Copies of this chain bind each other. A is one copy, B any other.
Amino acid sequence: MKDTRIKILDAAQDLVQRVGVNAMSYKHISDTVGIRKASIHHHFPKKENLVDELLKRCQLSYGAYYNDIVRGSDSAPEKLRKLATVFENGLSNQKLCLVGSISTDSSTLQEHSCRILEQSIQNTVTIFATVFIQGKKECSLSFTETAEDAAFAFFSFLVGTQIVARSCGGTEFFHKAAQIIIDALEK
């Protein structure tokens, strides 16, 4: 079966988003996939391999997803609202952004994983930045520093609010917080 590998990645991703990369174990994955623990090692010899591939896969899938939103015909503030909704939907399932979840445990990661993580963040920020470039052009957004810097700030805000709101306030608090920040960036 080719899709056992995908099932493993799916289960791993779900676990990472819910409980974090350190609390995600091969045992947990084997339980949900319905495969023995040793068999997972056949597909991903070391856990670091799994983490690396998870990061790469998410960079692609979420990158495509973000791009869909960013390339649309909406105004810049509307696009920011749609991007925030992606995070809000994750939160409603008690799930954190994978990059955000792994970032918090970055100190226990291998160097090569950290590099992929860094690249994923930069990739996301680059996509987000196009919205801020558009916003500056159409005068719908106002911010100091560069569009890249603003994109970094906005992405970081979404990651943090997802984390804090999961512990306190849930999607309601998240939604209001996003509203405030987008309003503040709006001209």
Contact = CB atoms under 8 A, between A and B. Distances in A.
Nearest to A157: B157
Interface in A151-177: 152-153, 155-169, 173, 176-177
A117 interface: yes
B100 A164 contact: yes
Interface of A: 18-20, 22-23, 94, 96, 99-101, 103-108, 114, 117-118, 121-122, 142-145, 149-150, 152-153, 155-169, 173, 176-181, 183-185
13 contacts: A20-B105, A94-B107, A100-B104, A104-B105, A104-B163, A114-B167, A143-B180, A145-B176, A149-B177, A153-B181, A159-B160, A160-B162, A160-B163
Given A22-B22, A100-B164, A104-B163, 10 more contacts: A20-B108, A101-B104, A103-B167, A143-B180, A144-B179, A144-B183, A149-B173, A152-B164, A157-B157, A184-B185
